Amino acid sequence: MAAKKTARKAPKKSAKKAVKKAAKRSTAKKSTARKAVKKTAKRSAKKSAKKSSKKSSTYKVPPVPLGGSSRSSVSTISTTPKPASSSYSTAKKSKSTSGSSNKVMFAVILGIVVLAVAVIASNSSTDESTTVTPTPAVSESATPTESASATSAPLAAHEAPIKIVAHYTASGATVFWKAPATATEGITGYNLELRAGNTGDWKLVATVPATQFSQDITKSDSTGWAQVKVSTVYSDGEVVAGKIFGLPGSWA
């Protein structure tokens, strides 16, 4: 009994396997067929696209009747654009024309500039030849004079020296003074002058620099009396006298 059951089961299993194999084969055939169909469709689509692109580049014009019965032959017109050779050559010509005109204009401007420079140079040389005159050489030994100092720019203020006094010495006396209180700008020095009595002429005893504030005087005789005057001297020529005082005797 067991052998019979085994014999029955064996053909059933083999039949199932055969069915499965057949099903797999049919499925594989179907997939390959589908792939072939797809490839064919793609190829046909590409061919049709190429044909349509070729057809779009050219088209046929139907015959147009001329004079009633006669017809012209069908002509094929290409739709591909032709290079615009005429416009390109025109542009080249316009560029060359503009370039030549620019060169001519530049040459004209350059010529005008050169001419102007030549005229200016000639004018300047003429002016120099007519205006330049020799000047006398200044001698190194020349010294400034009082008249030159008097012609300098005037100063804002002028003042006399202050606190003028005399101190007696063994040989005579020493006169002392101080600079002006405010107007010290432009002082070049001080003058010390003497005169006999109050009617004689003033005699310049010494001119000292602006940094010196004393001067010695000598007594020559004990008779009579003299006046003493100290003045401030400025760079613009102004001389301002201080307070005058007297000393007994004759002084020099």
Domain ranges of the chain: 1-44, 154-251
pLDDT score of 194: 95
Residues 6 or more apart in contact with residue 179 via CB below 8 angstroms: 161, 162, 187, 210, 213, 232
Q: Which CATH superfamily is domain 154-251 in?
A: Immunoglobulins (2.60.40.10)
251 contacts: CB under 8 Å, gap ≥ 6 = 172, 173, 194, 217, 218, 219, 220, 226, 228
The burial of 103, by beta-carbon neighbours within 10 Å (0-12 exposed, 13-18 middle, 19 or more buried), is given as: exposed
pLDDT at 4 over 60: no
Residue 2, CB-side half-sphere exposure with 13 Å CA sphere: 0
For residue 93, the model assigns a pLDDT of 61
Write out the two tokens for 153: 């720019």
Give the pLDDT mean for 227-250. Answer: 93
Condensed to tens digits (0 to 9), the pLDDT of residues 34-47 reads: 777 677 777 777 77
> According to the model, what pLDDT value does residue 110 have?
85
Tell me how far apart the alpha carbons of residues 154 and 156 are, in angstroms, rounded to a whole number. Answer: 7
The share of the chain scoring above pLDDT 70, in percent, equals 60
Give the pLDDT of residue 67. Answer: 52
Given a cut of 70, whether residue 148 has pLDDT beyond it is no
The count of other CB atoms within 10 Å of the CB of residue 169 is 12
Phi, psi of 131 (to 5 degrees): -100, -25
Q: Quick one: average pLDDT of 195-214?
A: 92
- Give the pair of three-digit tokens for residue 76: 């094929």
Cα–Cα distance, 95 to 50 (Å, whole number): 43
pLDDT at 195: 94
Q: Which range among 73-82, 120-129, 189-198 shows the weakest confidence by mean pLDDT? A: 73-82
Q: How many CB atoms lie within 10 A of CB 197?
A: 10
Residue 145 or residue 125, greater confidence: 125
Please give the pLDDT value at position 11: 58
pLDDT of residue 131: 45
Model confidence over 7-37: pLDDT tens digits?
Answer: 555 556 677 777 777 777 777 677 777 777 6
Rounded-to-integer distance, Cα 3 and Cα 8, Å: 9
Beta-strand relationship, 58-60 and 76-78: antiparallel
Residue 3 has pLDDT above 60, yes or no: no
